[in-house]
């Protein structure tokens, strides 16, 4: 079994190249935001907390779709200039707090929406949703979503061709390899909500799609993955060169990765 990257380490792995990370990470499908709005969780002037804002990929859309005021938690201060630049163009009250969610002091019974995009797997699951519930107003919503790199329901030739390269690397809590990916483990995620005793049964949706990359984009994207980003500069470069060689030589410079975007939305009980 691959080693698991600890949350404290993982949270600090993504800000080494902020602009490179921002340039290559794929956006979430627009259907995901449409679904979020359809649940009643996101609407104009809803008081919102975002956990793990990162490069602001979801922050942008939350602001555009009405989140106001928006408080963003991001433990890596290297993302601050990018997040502040995003907020500067929005007509919303924006606050950035440099803290992990578990350590942040936040007002209770305060938020209409707590959102987290491809970040909640780094949170201590023993306390994560219980703390979320304490921060939400009664009847408020939590929305957790992810872009999952790999769809267990579809064959993925590039994934298969690169297993020998990636297999020895440590993995994040979102990708345990031997098991269903964190975001796609429906029973586990629904169980986490049920265990708190504070949420109505969640609604969820999965959106399969395909990400097309050229050889350079393969190197750029994989260079943002935590299992590769934690390596020494020399080892990281060696792995990326091997991946790009596979892309160029076996896939003629055009790689298709099967993606799934998953979202779970739950409402805090009124009583």
In a domain, 156, yes or no: no
Q: Which domain holds residue 109?
A: 7-151+179-209+260-267
Query: What pLDDT, in 10s, does the model give residues 126-175?
Result: 899 999 999 999 999 999 999 999 999 999 999 999 999 998 898 877 76
Query: What pLDDT, in 10s, does the model give residues 85-136?
Result: 999 998 899 999 999 999 999 999 999 999 999 999 999 998 999 999 999 9
Q: What are the beta bridge partners of residue 263?
A: 145, 205
In a domain, 39, yes or no: yes
In a domain, 114, yes or no: yes
Region 2-13 average pLDDT: 74
Instruction: Give start and end residues of each alpha helix (H) in 197-262.
Output: 215-222, 226-229, 233-251
Region 243-269 average pLDDT: 98
What are the percentages of helix, strand and coil residues in the chain, rounded to 5? 40, 25, 35
Q: How far apart are the first and last CA of the chain?
A: 43
Q: Output the pLDDT for position 178.
A: 56
Residue 8 has pLDDT above 80, yes or no: no
Percent pLDDT > 70 in the chain is 97
Q: Report the domain count for the chain.
A: 1
In a domain, 161, yes or no: no
The b/e string for 54-78 (b: 16+ C-beta within 10 A; e otherwise) is: bbbbbbbbbbebbbbebbbbbbbee
In a domain, 169, yes or no: no
Instruction: Report CA-CA distances (Å) from 173 to 3, 17, 24, 26, 38.
Output: 10, 22, 21, 20, 29
In a domain, 19, yes or no: yes
Q: Output the pLDDT for position 176.
A: 54
Contact yes or no for 270/226 (Cβ under 8 A) = no
What does the chain come to in residues?
A: 271
Residue 15 has pLDDT above 90, yes or no: no
In a domain, 83, yes or no: yes
The CATH number that applies at residue 54 is 3.40.50.150
In a domain, 101, yes or no: yes
CA-CA distance, 3 to 136, in Å (whole number)? 35
């Amino acid at each position: 079994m691959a080693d698991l990257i600890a949350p404290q380490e993982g949270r600090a792995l993504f800000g080494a190249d902020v602009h490179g990370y921002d340039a290559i990470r794929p956006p979430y499908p627009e259907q995901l935001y449409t679904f979020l709005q359809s649940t009643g969780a996101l609407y104009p002037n809803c008081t919102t907390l975002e956990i793990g804002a990162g490069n602001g990929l979801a922050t942008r859309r939350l602001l555009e779709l009405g989140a106001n005021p928006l408080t963003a938690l991001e433990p890596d201060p290297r993302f601050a200039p990018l997040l502040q630049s995003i907020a500067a163009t929005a007509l919303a009250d924006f606050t950035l707090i440099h803290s992990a969610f578990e350590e942040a002091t936040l007002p209770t019974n305060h938020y209409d929406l707590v959102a987290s995009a491809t970040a909640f797997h780094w949170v201590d699951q023993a306390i994560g949703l219980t703390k979320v519930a304490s921060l939400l107003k009664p009847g408020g919503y939590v929305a957790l979503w992810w872009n999952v790199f790999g769809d267990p329901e579809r064959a993925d030739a590039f994934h298969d061709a690169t297993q020998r390269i990636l297999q020895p690397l440590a993995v994040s809590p979102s990708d345990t390899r031997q098991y269903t990916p964190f975001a796609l483990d429906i029973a586990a995620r629904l169980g986490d909500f049920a265990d708190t005793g504070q949420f109505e049964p969640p609604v969820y949706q999965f959106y399969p799609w395909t990400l097309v990359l050229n050889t350079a984009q393969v190197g750029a994207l994989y260079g943002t993955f935590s299992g590769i980003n934690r390596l020494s500069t020399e080892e990281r470069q060696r792995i990326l060169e091997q991946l790009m060689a596979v892309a160029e030589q076996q896939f003629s410079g055009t790689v298709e990765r099967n993606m799934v975007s998953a979202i779970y939305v739950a409402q805090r009980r009124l009583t």
